[in-house]
Amino acid sequence: MIPLRDITSYLEGLAPPSLQESYDNSGLQVGDPNLDISGILVALDASEGVLLEAEKLGFNLVLTHHPVIFGGLKSLTGRSGPERIVKMAIQKEIAIYSAHTNFDAIAGGVSTAMANRLGLVNQQILAPLSGGLLKVVVFVPHAQLEQVRQAMFKAGAGKLGEYDSCSFNLEGSGTFRGGEGSQPFAGEAGVFHQEAETRLEIIVHAELSSRVISSMLAAHPYEEVAYDIYPLENKDPRRGMGVIGRLEDPMEEEVFLGFLKDRFSASVIRHTSLRGKAVKKVAVCGGAGSFLLGKAKAAGADVFVTGDMKYHQFFEAEGQLVVMDIGHFESEQFTRELFYDLLMKKFPKFAVRLSETEKNPIKYF
Ligand SMILES: [Zn+2]
């Protein structure tokens, strides 16, 4: 048994809920965070069938990509699908947790699962997020520098891609004079003092800033700590929507269509006119990705693979690339494997299964 809280905080460490879109409702849908979890069933959507499958397995957590409570619930009478699912989950004491657009917005998320399925190399986020990074600057007496720096690193500051413990340190001197009520760590109250200090600069993901600041303040020896928090305009190459990469070996467009169909078990691919060019650069976005078509064109993609494109949106390809719509379910199906792999990495001996009853709600004739 693992407390539900441990599972959700692990997932939220990978894809912070603050990354979700404003319209979204990712997070714990049903259940007590203190519930002891016996097993996890992974699906794209929670349904009555998936809940029954979990019950049969003796599992009490269903992890989904799409939130079951999305447009809001105003009653629990069982009149609508979501109401019935939530009611059933409560009755059967099965928790439901959803990781939706926050898992779309990270490297290693939904679109990465698609890109991996196509074997794309040199993968990059198609539309990196900006505004999610801060720079924290704090002035620390030399002797306490290491303890303050380590406290901030431990709280999650100083991570840049595959690197951690990133900081910049510049020696200088600070001045201060404590008032009557002060008890200065260095010098005396009422006397002007100059102290050798280091200007310590560390990058911090915005969602970790309050944790980093409290750890920093706890480790810092001063009564009044001088520190600054700067918002950064930098794009975060590890966060954002969609993925672009290259095929190891270029393919003819028809060959690529066949390959795509096979890799995603797609019955149908709706696509714009072929251009008679080899496919090298491929952009992908899981789910409804039309909002990234412009980015895919600007990035020089030969094809853009997504789901849920509307009629008018196909015109927007404008012959600059080939849009390939494989279907919403098809494009996101490997999100289940992604969740499975991530859970196995953290809880290797725990019971985690992919739903076997879940089916694409869309059939093709
Ligand atoms: Zn979706």
pLDDT digits (tens, 9 = 90+) for 186-197: 999 999 999 999
Tell me what the mean pLDDT of segment 105-126 comes to: 97
Task: Please report, rounded to a whole number, the percentage of residues in the chain having pLDDT higher than 90.
Answer: 96
Beta-bridge partners for 353: 41
Evaluate whether 309 touches 283 at the Cβ level (below 8 Å).
no
Paired sense of beta strands 133-141 and 27-30, if any: unpaired
What band does 72 get if pLDDT is binned at 50, 70 and 90? confident
Task: Please report, rounded to a whole number, the percentage of residues in the chain having pLDDT higher than 70.
Answer: 100
Q: What are phi and psi of 48, to 5 degrees?
A: -60, -35
Tell me what the mean pLDDT of segment 215-236 comes to: 97
Q: Which residues surround ligand 1, an ion (CB under 5 A)?
A: 287, 332
**Spacing, Cα 111 to ligand 1 middle (Å):** 11
**Spacing, Cα 351 to ligand 1 middle (Å):** 25
**Spacing, Cα 288 to ligand 1 middle (Å):** 7
Q: In the 8-state DSSP scheme, what is residue 225?
A: -
Tell me what the mean pLDDT of segment 122-131 comes to: 95
**Spacing, Cα 63 to ligand 1 middle (Å):** 14
Tell me what the mean pLDDT of segment 25-29 comes to: 96
C-alpha neighbours within 13 Å on the C-beta side of residue 241: 18
**Spacing, Cα 136 to ligand 1 middle (Å):** 36
In whole angstroms, what is the distance from residue 46 CA to residue 82 CA?
Answer: 9
Tell me what the mean pLDDT of segment 106-130 comes to: 96
Tell me what the mean pLDDT of segment 93-102 comes to: 97
